[in-house]
Structure formats: structure tokens, C-alpha cells
Structure 1
Amino acid sequence: MNRAFFFATAGWALSGAVALSQQTPFGIGSCHVNGRAVEDYQRWVPPIEEIGIRYHRSLMSTWGAVEPERGRWSWENVDAQWEYLHDRGFATGALLLGSPAWNDQVPGGHLPSRDLDGWSEYVYRLVDHFRGRITNYEVWNEPPNFTGPDQTAEDYARVVVAAYDAAKKADPDCRVGLTAKSAHLSYLRQVILAGAKDHFDWISLHPYEVLDGIVADTGMEPVFLNLVPSLRKMLAEVDPAKKDVPVMFTELGVDAGHHGDRAQADALVKAYVLAITGGVANVQWFEGRDGDSGPMGLLDAEGKPRPAFHAYRRMIEVLGQDPKPRGWMPVGKRSLGFGFDTENGSVLVAWTPRKTTEQLELPGRDLDFLNATTGRSGKGTSWTFDATPVFVRGLPDESFAGATPVSKSLPPWPGDPGNYDDSRSVMIDVTLDPPERGLHSRAGSEVSAAIVAYGGSARAGDAPGGNLFMVDPSFLSYDRVPLKITAVVRRKDPSVNAGFKLVYESPGGFKTAGDWKTIPEQDEWHTIEWRLDDPCFVNYWGYNFRLESDGPTYSQYLLKSLTVEKTE
């Protein structure tokens, strides 16, 4: 519905200087070549400091960096890094990570589960050295990435427990983080059940693939907003005492080379707006300047600011260091808005998902608008909203009366007319308008490219090869409810063999349901069914299930409808 907004203030004043704080949601990280020493920081930290970012992910604190030889400890480099960042107003965390070359008990790229004594000594020494200077410690980076091929969740759990005990012995006030690749909640669940229960103080995720759906403007805002609620459901089941621990995204970014500079900037602001609204404590954007991970930086390889650099700066100027989310709200017929209380008054951030635009006539006093990516600003009573976030200032308190916290409900999927909280089924049916009713598709090539771009072979082992589908998170998210999935399909050419298998998210990760399905050759519509006893839909790679064909020939079929039905 249309809403009239009335504004009392004008202009876009800079937020005042803020004290060093780890409570700000605005953070930054770096790749290896941009974080080895102070000389690396000097290439990118000074302009990043100007943005107003005040939290940095990690020093070069890996095991081999501080214990280059067994029993010889070296602190000069990490001390210099800490002092450089501290002098420029940054707080920093530290990664607990590494397989020292001298340690023959820990092969390179493996968790140190075979040398827990050595690992514990490293953790104790590091935390004790930085007691009072560093608070947050993150155990490993993106497990089960960067672990041995045969290492399991049990191995990571043993490493976490040893790190937690050693860190708390060195500094009872430090906070130890449990982590996983992407949004792999099922892996975290396995780790907690394997022994890590009660041995962490916060959780880190890296939901690149979900953000990639936002970049592609596929309408995945509800999925992004549901990441933290899904995590809390999991914790309430397996570790209730930890169900409300802080959540951080210690890596999140967009490949500007693949998506383009403007899309990167749009996605950065959306990521922070959605994350803060969804309950994320801090997002450490990856990264400050292009390095060994490709064109991911706010600065390019020559140090030139990208549009994302300026968008980040505008966002902090408008929202301040500690914005308080009010919730989401519809704006007009197509646009989605998010309200914040800031030190400079109320702010609305809005855009139109799913590649649409909407011009809103807002009666009342002159309004103040600021385009996050281009910097275009204006005063008036109308604005054309599109995929780029726009800040609207001066909204009186009563205008936020309809704002809904994510803890109460999620926004509807853009363009979907229904609410599926109490529904028994959702579907895609090409004979309907709109065809997507609580079940949504996503191009396989987009997710496949995202997985390769953001993780190489470590993330691409189960890359999608067919159509990908997501249920509306209001219909099903994390809860394991038996399902029946029904597809109505036919071959494009009756003489060309076509078929697929169904691969879905389960508590143990992606799993194949039943056998390969060959579509009959008769030139008519055929119905194919699957029964899933253990789905666990959490979108850890940005989708819930896929129809996977073995090569392009077998994908030559037409899909008329696809239905997901709860059987209990």
C-alpha cells in the first residue's frame, strides 16, 4: 500500500566522530597479500579509515606466523600490525588457524586434531599475549573448507574445544567464535553435537551465495533476513544455552569483475541493511583492496576507489556507527523499506526488488533522498525507486508504526501474492500468473559461478548443474518436516533421452533423493514424485534443492509445474 511520509529535517550531515567500539556493524577484512604486515596495510587502510570503518577481522595471527619454529615465539609482526590499526582507530579480532611447516603431525591444510597439545599451547600464548587488546577469536576459516579430505565435524569439534579451553585459561574475558563456510548450519549442528556444545561465545558465517542472489536481484531478501533466525532455531535444538549468541559475517563480498562495479555497490548497502535488520552484530566486508582473491575490493588493484567505497562511506554517514533497526515495511506497491533509529534521527532505506521500478508520490513536506551508489540527492515529494538503495531522512516516528521486526515475521517474497506460514504446499506453475507461489527458481549458472568465484574447488564440489529452487522461508526453514515433491515434465524432443535426480539439503548436507528419473519418451506430460523424510532447508548455498541432469543432453526437458507438499 502507498504510505505518506512526512519529514522534519533536511540535509545530509556527517555523523560525529565515534569512539573505538566493537559494537559497530561496520567491519572490513583482507586477503592474505593485503594482511601479511604493516607494509600491506599501508596500501589500503588509510582510505578505508576515512570511510568510518572501525572493526578489522584479523591480524596475521596464524600458528606458523607466531611460532615459526617449535618453541620459538615471534610477536614483532603481529604487535606492529595491532599498533598500526589501533593508532588509526580500529579494533581487530584474530583468527586461530594454521598448520606450521615444522609440525609433521599436522599436514598442510589440515585441522591440528592430531596435535591438540601444540595447538592449545599456540592458542594460549596468542590470547595471553593480546589479553586486554583483542577480544574476539575465530577458530579456523570456513570449515569444512581448508581441512583435510578425511577430516570430519568431529575433528573440528575437538579443535574448537581445545581452543576454547586454552583461550579462556589465558583470558576469561575473551570471546571464542565457532564458524562454518557459507551458511552451512547443518555442519555447525554436527560440530556442536560432536562435542563443541557450550564451547563458543559467538558464531561466524560467510553467506556469499545468498548475497549473490541479492546481487542478481532474484528476490532473495527474505532468505537473507532468515539466516540468523534459522541459526537460532538450530541452536535452540542442540545448544539452548547458546541460542542467543552474537552472529557475525566475518567475510562477505561481491566480485566486481563478474557482476560490475555498480552491482557491487548496490549489494554492499543491501547486505548491511539486511544484516543489521536480521540481527547480525558485525559484517566484515571482503575486502579493502583487490589482492589475491580477484576484484573484490572497495579499492581496485591500483588503489582507486570503486563505487562500493563511496556507498560504504555514505551509509556510515547516514546511519552512524550504531543504527538500531525497527524492522521492514512495505513502501508503495513494489518497494521494500527498512527503518532505523540513528543518532541523527530516523532513516528509511528502500529499494524495489526483482528488477522493477516504482515512482512514489509522497505528499507532505519536502523529503530528502540520497542514492546510496551514485550519490544523487534531491528534495521533493516524489522519487523513482529501483534496485539501488535510497536513504530517506526525517521520517516522523508514527510513520514506522507498520515496521515489523524480523523476529516476528519475514517480508513476503517480492512479486509473490501469498503468505505461507500455515500452508501445506507451495508451487511453481507456469499456467498461473504469477507462476511462483511460495516456491521460487534461480538460474543454476548464477549460483555455480558464485561458488567458483568465492571459493574455488573448496566450494565447488557440489556445484549445481540443473535448476535450483527455494521455498519461501515462511513455509519451511530448518524444521525437518517430511515432504513430497512433484514435478510435471516432458521431453523437448521425444527421441532425446532426458532426466535428472533430485538433490536436497538434509541435516548432513546435500543428499540425493532416490534414484535417477528418466522422463518417458511419450510426447505428453509426465508426473514424477519424490518423498523426503529428512529435509533441512537452510539455503547454505543459496537454494534448497535442485534437479540435476548429467550433462546438457539430459536437461532437454520442459517443466510445467513443481509442487512441494508437507506430508505431516
Structure 2
Amino acid sequence: MNQRRSLPAGWLAWLGLCCLVAAGPAHAAPERFEDTLCVTAKFSQGQPLSELPMLTDLGVKWVRDTVAWFDIEKRPGQYQAFPPEFQQRLDFYRQHDIGLVMLLAYDNPLAYPNTPAKPGNSADPVAYGRYAAEMARRLRKQGLRFVIELWNEPHNDLFHKFGGNWNGAPPSPWVDHYLRMVDEATHRIKLFDPSIRVITDDDMWVIHYHFLARGLTRQIDGFAIHPYTGGDIPELTAVTYDTDWTRPYQVVDPDRSFGSAMRRLREFGSQKLGKRPEIWITEWGWGVGEKSPLGPLSEEAVATYLPRAMILGAATGAEATCWFSTRDSVDGPMGLTDNNSRPRPAYYAFRDLHAKLGKARYVCPLSTQSGSGAAMAYLFRDAKGPLVARWDAYPAVQGAGKLSLERPATAPACARP
């Protein structure tokens, strides 16, 4: 459904990509790059718990995980203990100081069955709000860092239950229903503890604009996004500045750069919420064999995309960037490991990225150029001094856009907006 257009050739495309981050608002970045590193785990979908140590091997500081609502609330208002497998994961996260992005999804037809009179009863906003508050209380007692993510890609789920336009444009009853769920959950969580961070979710840029325009509660702390590109490079968005179904909003600059989409969403969110919203990238990845401008993506090509995506997330102010995912499970060849526990090249790329850049602090984008059209470069600094992360955004050969890390004698000048 995404309409795509090629970027204009030459220096305008390069200038937009390289300098866009500097044009955005100032961001109080995490102390170290590793503080933004996250994975979406598949332990709730069959990944064996024996693979929990992969998280420390990778060096992640956040993990996205979940337990089904109907496994906790089997009857209205009667909450069960956490399943032993989930409790074991929570213990591991706490012991290794890994923060939890707690996904609260999906509906609960066991405790709240749908009926002709109440066809949406399994996703009742009040029941969901009570459940969200209960989960917040339990997680606070666990003594680990966490943020609560309200639902997963509601346009792929609630849209089919409540109807309307899939892209969130009014009239869209599913958007109204989701916003009631968010309002109930956020209000109840904040009553319990105002410091608990709560975020909405969807994988289409424009849907967040419709949430905000339709009265998303100001109690919310921010948004979770899934900026999949349909096989294209991490530096670009899947939509263009004039994609018809994103109107009346322009969600990205004419250069189609990821950084401009982040900047625009943050600015619109600030306008509507009266504060700077957090942006969490809770899913981002590519599948082996996925179509790309240079042909089906190889495992090696996906491994070149990974460090670029993680650095772009940090450079544009994301609180965390969660690679999707730790294991293929039910979602096809998108895992750092396949379903036979074989690590893919992307696994080693992630581990290597943390080892070499994890302790560094992000500083700014740099202005550089390469013959192929767009060289991306970002300045970091660690205990040894400046460190430059550099790669070619448009390699002529698939998999050639590999990250290189250079340690200059003096720090290069930051790009000017």
C-alpha cells in the first residue's frame, strides 16, 4: 500500500540525509549508546528460556516482552500470578539490569467474551485499564526498570474489530476505541504512580498524527513506532512526503529521510501534548529474502542494515531501538537466530556494535560525502576520545554498506543545520 518514489540524485539527497539530525530539536541523549540498545524477544512465542543469556552476550539494555492478558485475568477482576516462565524472565532482566518494554496486548475473550450486544467486549476500555494498572503495580514490585506499551499495532488488530479507515483518518471507530483504552489505562497507571512511563503504539507514521489530532491524553509519555521500510535502506521511510493516504499530514521531508520523520512526529507531538514526547522504536528489522532495490536481502545485507538502524535511532533521539527480533519464531526469517538457534550474521553485527560503540556517548552528525551519493557519519565520544561511525547509504552492491568506526586525532566539526 505504500507509495514510493526515488530520491533525487546528487548532493540534495546527500545533504538532506546527512544533516537532518542537526536540524531537529535538542535532545537529552542517554548517557551511553548502549542505553538505547533493545531487542524484541520471542520467549512468549516459543524461544527457549535457555537462550536468555543471549541478551547479556548482545549487551542489550532493554528487552520488549509480554504475557497474554488472558493468562493473567481468566475471570473478570481475578488476576493470576505471573506464569513461571515469565517470572523467570523478569528475574533475569532484574538481575542483569535489563529494562523491560512491557507490551500489554492483545484482547481477552476468556474473561470478556464478545456478544452480539457487545461485539468489542474482549477489548473493553475499562477492563483493559484495570488490567494495565494491575500490571503496573506488579512490575513496580519486581524492582526492575520498565515502560508500558499499550497494545501492538492497533491498526492491524482493532481496525478489523471496530471498522473505519485503516490509516486512522476520520471517521475511524477503531481509533476512538483505542484512544478510550489508552485514556483508561494511562489514567489508572498514573494514579498509582505518575513516574511510570506509558506509550502508545502503531507501525504507520501517520496514525500517530491521527491519535494526537483526535485527543490523545496528555498524560501519555510518548509513542512506540515500527519504522519498517519494506526492504529499503534504514535511512529512508516507507512513505514519501506526498503519499496520498498520509494526507493532510506531511510525515516526512521531500528527501524521505528517517530523521525528518522522527523530527516531524516529535514536533507535532510537542504541539498537541504540550511537552516533548518520548519516541521508542519497539520494532525495526528486515527479513532475509525481503525484496530490496538491489534484490532479495541476504543475511549479510541484513547484518549491514542493523548497526545503521541502531545508530540512526540513537542519533534521532529514540529512547531505545528494539531490533525485531531475537528469533524467527512465527514471523519468518527476521530473527538474530533462526528456529534452530543458529546465529545469523546480524547477531554478530549486534554484538560487535555493542562491543565497539556501546560505552560511547552520541555527540552529533557530521558532514561528509562519498562518490556513491550519500555517506552517513556520526560523532561519538568514549573514554579514549572521539569516535566516528561512518557508512555508505547507497552501496552499489548489496551488503557493501558496512559500518566503519574511525578514531580521529581530533573531533571533526558537527554538521550545521
TM-score, normalized by length of structure 1?
Answer: 0.56
Q: Could you list the per-position Cα deviations for residues 500-552 of structure 1 after superposition, in whole angstroms to 9, with x for gaps in the alignment?
A: xxxxxxxxxxxxxxxxxxxxxxxxxxxxxxxxxxxxxxxxxxxxxxxxxxxxx
Correspondence 1:300-449 to 2 at 5 A: 300-321=338-359, 323-334=361-372, 335-356=375-396, 386-392=400-406, 394-398=407-411, 400-401=412-413, 403-404=414-415, 408=417
More strand per residue: 1
Matched, 1:286 2:324: yes
| C-alpha separation in 2, matches of 1:153 and 1:295 | 31
1:35 is displaced (CA, Å) by 2.0
The residue that corresponds to 1:130 in the other structure is: 139
Aligned sequence identity (%): 21
Which residue of structure 1 lines up, in the alignment, with residue 56 of structure 2? 49
Quick check: 2:32–2:362 contact (8 Å CA) kept in 1? no
**1:58–1:247 distance in 2 versus 1, CA, 3 Å:** same
Q: Is the Cα contact below 8 Å between 1:161 and 1:195 reproduced in 2?
A: no
Over 3 Å counting, the alpha-carbon distance change for 1:26 and 1:395 in structure 2 is: same
CA contact under 8 A between 1:45 and 1:288: conserved in structure 2?
no
CA contact (8 A) 2:154 2:202 kept: yes
User: Is 1:252 matched up with 2:284?
Assistant: yes
The reply to whether residue 26 of structure 1 matches residue 37 of structure 2 is yes
1:176 to 198, 212, 217: 198
Cα distance in structure 2, aligned partners of 1:296 and 1:123: 29
In the other structure, the counterpart of 2:91 is 83
CA separation of 1:128 and 1:336: change in aligned 2, threshold 3 A: closer
Deviations 1:125-182 (A, max 9, x none): 1111111434300111012121124142211111111010111122221011022123
**Which structure: greater helix fraction?**
2
Letter in 2 for 1:165: H
Say if 1:249 and 1:282, in contact at 8 Å, map to a contact too: yes
Q: Sort the Cα spacing of 1:397 and 1:202 in 2 relative to 1 into closer, same or farther, 3 A.
A: farther
**Given residue 189 of structure 1, which amino acid in structure 2 is its aligned partner?**
Y
Counterpart secondary structure, 1:235: helix
Q: Please name the residue that 2:251 is paired with.
A: none
Q: Do 1:352 and 1:387's aligned partners in 2 also have CA atoms closer than 8 Å?
A: yes
The total of aligned residue pairs comes to 346
Counterpart amino acid of residue 97 in structure 1: A
- From 266, 269, 284, the counterpart of 2:304: 266
Asked if 1 retains the 8 angstrom alpha-carbon contact of 2:73 and 2:79, the reply is yes
CA–CA distance in 2 between the matches of 1:112 and 1:159?
12
C-alpha distance in 2 between matches for 1:319 and 1:238: 35
Q: Distance in 2 between matches of 1:178 and 1:49?
A: 28
Counterparts of 2:415 and 2:32, CA distance in 1:
28
Secondary structure of the corresponding residue to residue 336 of structure 1: strand
Q: What corresponds to 1:442 in structure 2?
A: none
The corresponding residue for 1:92 is 100
**Cα 1:172–1:218, aligned 2, differ >3 Å: closer, same or farther?**
closer
* Distance (Å, rounded) in 1 between the aligned partners of 2:108 and 2:328: 27
Are the equivalent residues in 2 in contact too, given 1:124–1:170 (CA < 8 A)?
A: yes
- Give the whole-Å Cα distance in 1 for the aligned partners of 2:229 and 2:270: 25
Say whether the 8 Å CA contact 1:25–1:322 is kept in structure 2: no
Alignment-derived partner of residue 445 in structure 1: none
Name the amino acid aligned to 1:187. Answer: I
Once the two structures are TM-superposed, the CA of residue 215 in structure 1 deviates from its matched residue by: 6.2
Question: Runs of 5+ in structure 1 lacking a partner?
Answer: 2-19, 358-372, 374-385, 409-568
Match of 2:267 among 230, 233, 242: 233
Give secondary structure in 2 for the equivalent of 1:329.
Answer: coil
- The one-letter code of the counterpart of 1:341 is R
Quote the offset at 1:277 in angstroms.
1.4
CA 1:339 to 1:161, structure 2 compared with 1: closer, same or farther past 3 Å? same
| Partners of 2:216 and 2:183 in 1: CA distance | 6
In structure 2, give the amino acid aligned to 1:254: W
2: CA distance between counterparts of 1:84 and 1:153? 36
Q: Aligned match of 2:188 in 158, 166, 169? A: 166
Q: Is 1:115 equivalent to 2:128 in the alignment?
A: no
- Counterpart check, 1:296 vs 2:304: no
Q: Is the 8 A contact 1:95 1:140 kept in 2?
A: yes
Shift of 1:87: 2.8
Unaligned runs of 5+ in 2: 1-10, 12-30, 164-172, 241-254, 291-296
Mapped partners of 2:181, 2:342: distance in 1: 40
CA–CA distance in structure 1, aligned partners of residues 66 and 268 of structure 2: 31
User: How far apart are the structure 1 equivalents of 2:209 and 2:224?
Assistant: 13
Which residue identity is paired with 1:209? T
Aligned to 2:215: 195
Q: Do the aligned partners of 2:93 and 2:144 also contact (CA within 8 Å) in 1? A: no
Structure-2 change in CA distance of 1:56 and 1:217 (3 Å): closer
Taking the aligned partners of 1:203 and 1:27, their CA distance within structure 2 comes to 16
Post-superposition Cα deviations, 1:57-115, rounded to whole Å, max 9, x if no partner, equal 1232x3212112223211232433211332344221211222112244558xx976973
Q: Deviations over 1:204-256 (max 9, x none)?
A: 1000126x3206999999611222111123224433x13x2221100111102
Please list, as runs of the form range in 1=range in 2, the aligned pairs for 1:473-492 lying within 5 A after superposition: none
* Partner Cα separation in structure 2 for residue 164 and residue 215 of structure 1: 32
- Contact preservation (8 Å) 1:177, 1:201: yes
Partner Cα distance (2:195, 2:109) in 1 = 31
Query: Is this contact kept in 2: 1:203–1:247, CA < 8 A?
Result: yes
CA–CA distance in 1 between the matches of 2:107 and 2:178? Answer: 14
> SS at 1:141's partner residue?
coil
Pick the structure with greater CA Rg: 1
- SS at the partner of 2:53? helix
* Distance in 1 of aligned mates of 2:343 and 2:323: 15
User: 2:179 aligns to what?
Assistant: 157
Partner amino acid for 2:264? Answer: S
* Larger RCO (CA within 8 A; separation ≥ 6): 2
CA distance in 2, matches of 1:85, 1:174: 17
Q: Secondary structure at the match of 2:155?
A: coil
Pairing of 1:463-474 with structure 2 (within 5 A): none
Q: State how far apart, in whole Å, the 2-side matches of 1:256 and 1:343 are.
A: 36
